[in-house]
């Protein structure tokens, strides 16, 4: 048994990262089959992508995917630790599974992802949810088949959470939902240690994948018919810094753009590492999409300092303006936290001012969530929750106003859309995303799916556009 240790997870040493190429295969012995599984994923794209890896392993073990949790023999909760809300949802889900377990003791429950890396979570599960069969963390996902074998064949429970800096596991398999779009991990972990964030503790130190492994993966995806990739990392702009003397994100973007892939995106960018060369790479490569997600978190320099974000409001605005002026038709989105401990009315006003200046295409807004073990969790907070909720409402009004304004600017224009699905709202429509990552609903049939088409924008809403095939 290995339980998490947050103190240990914080440690960063000079230990060289190991690149492991031969730990992902599944022996015939492990291809047990005869069971169904259901994966419930919470949180960010990194978790979604991990779930694609888990799904591939489950299918290779000859298990079948169930339609819902209630009909599955094996339930896997891939959890998120970034906010209390996601945390509470997982415990609510465990309550639901408990009822099922009482009626069917054969149901196997696994909990993984970032919450599994938290000491208090594992402690609580060991005390109150003893029936959970497997807990594993973010560093040893590839070991799930062996753990499941132990539960099914040997009736053992497994808790295997490693609080380590981490390695790079190569040759992972992914079972993707979307045939035309794929995530490609370019790095793991984070060394920024923003004071509110648990990720550097749950995902280990920053480890870049080798450029040739990334390019090989992209070429394989192209052969599989993938049209769009999103290069994924907690802070992609820092790509390569831990691995190469003179090769960074801008070089990787240029190299990936030389492949035949039609569309390249990347998330997430920390403003601190965003270089001029990167802006040039986005501006000069036709297949790098004009879309940048650039989390600002606050418009107050005092709060930014307390968050440990390493840039000022002025530096952020300078970068924002540079990207806007050099990348044609670029969309810029952001993340904002309101109610960081002791955020004053003036601090909040500074955030609103920044939003009014930048007029973001979209923003993901959140109330600060205290994460145990982070430096910010030790600050005594005097701001009532009600005030924070009111601030969030005001902020969202500003954000929505600019989202609609930006969308309206596209009315009457023709844009390129990668059609990826039947529209959720109307089965007679399909939907897809523009180069600037805006959702468009288009009248048309399933034959358009998987194609990049010219679409005339006829109407705009806050969260989506309506379009007609040209
Ligand atoms: S850059 Fe900051 S917010 Fe982003 S994952 Fe790293 S520590 Fe968390």
Q: Is 360 helix (H, G, I), strand (E, B) or coil?
A: coil
Any atom of ligand 1 within 6 Å of the Cβ of 190: yes
Ligand 1 atom at shortest distance from the alpha carbon of 198: 8
Q: Which of 83, 117, 138, 200 to mutate to test the pocket of ligand 1 (most atoms within 8 A of CB)?
A: 200
Q: Which of 199, 206, 335, 368 to mutate to test the pocket of ligand 1 (most atoms within 8 A of CB)?
A: 199
Spatial contact of 212 and 260, defined as CB atoms under 8 Å apart: no
State the residue range of the domain holding 432. 414-469
The reported pLDDT for the residue numbered 296 is 98
Sign of torsion over alpha carbons 173, 175, 181, 187: negative
Q: Which of 44, 80, 192 to mutate to test the pocket of ligand 1 (most atoms within 8 A of CB)?
A: 192
The reported pLDDT for the residue numbered 424 is 84
Q: Any idea of the CA torsion for 74, 79, 85, 89, to the nearest 10 degrees?
A: 10
Sign of torsion over alpha carbons 337, 341, 344, 350: negative
Q: CATH no. for residue 438?
A: 2.40.50.140
Phi and psi, residue 102, nearest 5°: -65, -30
Q: CATH no. for residue 146?
A: 3.40.50.12160
pTM for this structure? 0.95
Boundary residue ending a domain (387, 408, 429): 408
Residue 1 lies in a domain: no
Geometric angle at alpha carbon 386, from 380 and 391, rounded to 5°? 95
Same domain, 155 and 292: no
**Counting every residue, how long is the chain?**
470
Same domain, 243 and 390: yes
Cα separation, 329 vs 164, in Å, equals: 42
DSSP 8-state secondary structure symbol assigned to residue 250: H
Q: How many domains does the chain have?
A: 3
Any atom of ligand 1 within 6 Å of the Cβ of 366: no
Give the closest residue (by CA) to ligand 1 atom 4: 234
Spatial contact of 41 and 53, defined as CB atoms under 8 Å apart: no
pLDDT in tens, the chain (470 residues): 999 999 999 999 999 999 999 999 899 999 999 999 999 999 999 999 999 999 999 999 999 999 999 999 999 999 999 998 888 999 999 999 999 999 999 999 999 999 999 999 999 999 999 999 999 999 999 999 999 999 999 999 999 999 999 999 999 999 998 999 999 999 999 999 999 999 999 999 999 999 999 999 999 999 999 999 999 999 999 999 999 999 999 999 999 999 999 999 999 999 998 999 999 999 999 999 999 999 999 999 999 999 999 999 999 999 999 999 999 999 999 999 999 999 999 999 999 999 999 999 999 999 999 999 999 999 999 999 999 999 999 999 999 999 999 999 999 999 999 999 998 888 899 999 999 999 999 998 999 999 999 999 999 999 999 999 98
Residue 292 lies in a domain: yes
């Amino acid at each position: 048994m290995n339980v998490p240790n947050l103190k240990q997870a914080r440690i960063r040493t000079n230990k060289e990262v190991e690149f492991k190429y031969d730990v992902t295969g599944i022996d015939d012995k492990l291809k047990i089959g005869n069971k169904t599984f259901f994966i419930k994923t919470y949180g960010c794209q990194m978790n979604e992508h991990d779930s694609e890896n888990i799904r591939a392993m489950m299918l290779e073990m000859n298990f079948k995917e169930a339609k819902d949790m209630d009909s599955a023999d094996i339930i896997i909760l891939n959890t998120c630790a970034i906010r209390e809300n996601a945390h509470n949802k997982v415990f609510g889900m465990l309550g639901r599974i408990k009822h099922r377990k009482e009626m069917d003791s054969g149901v196997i429950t696994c909990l993984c992802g970032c919450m599994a890396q938290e000491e208090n979570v594992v402690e609580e599960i060991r005390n109150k949810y003893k029936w959970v069969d497997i807990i594993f963390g973010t560093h040893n996902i590839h070991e799930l088949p062996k753990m499941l074998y132990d539960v099914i064949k040997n009736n053992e429970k497994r808790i295997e959470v490693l609080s380590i800096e981490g390695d790079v596991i190569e040759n992972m398999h992914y079972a993707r939902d979307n045939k035309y779009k794929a995530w490609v991990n370019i790095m793991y972990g984070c060394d920024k240690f923003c004071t509110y964030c648990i990720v550097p503790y749950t995902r280990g130190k920053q480890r870049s994948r080798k450029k040739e492994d990334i390019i090989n993966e992209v070429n394989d995806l192209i052969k599989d018919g993938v049209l769009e990739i999103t290069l994924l990392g907690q802070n992609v702009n820092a790509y390569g810094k831990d691995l190469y003397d003179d090769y960074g994100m801008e070089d990787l973007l240029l190299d990936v753009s030389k492949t035949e892939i039609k569309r390249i995106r990347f998330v997430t960018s920390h403003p601190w590492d965003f270089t001029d060369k990167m802006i040039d790479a986005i501006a000069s490569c036709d297949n790098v999409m004009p879309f940048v997600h650039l989390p600002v978190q606050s418009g107050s320099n005092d709060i930014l300092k307390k968050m440990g974000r390493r840039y000022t409001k002025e530096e952020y605005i300078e970068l924002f303006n540079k990207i806007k002026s050099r990348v044609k038709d670029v969309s810029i989105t952001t993340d904002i936290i309101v109610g960081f401990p002791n955020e004053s009315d003036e601090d909040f006003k500074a955030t609103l001012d920044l939003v009014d200046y930048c007029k973001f295409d979209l923003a993901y807004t959140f109330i600060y969530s205290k994460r145990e073990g982070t430096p910010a969790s030790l600050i005594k907070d005097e701001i009532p929750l009600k005030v924070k909720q009111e601030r969030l409402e005001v902020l969202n009004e500003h954000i929505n106003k600019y989202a609609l304004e930006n969308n309206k600017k596209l009315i009457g224009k023709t844009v390129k859309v990668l059609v990826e699905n039947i529209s959720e709202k109307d089965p007679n429509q399909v939907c897809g995303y523009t180069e600037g990552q805006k959702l468009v609903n288009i009248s048309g049939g399933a034959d358009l799916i998987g194609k990049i088409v010219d679409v005339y924008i006829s109407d705009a809403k806050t969260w989506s556009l309506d379009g007609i095939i040209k």
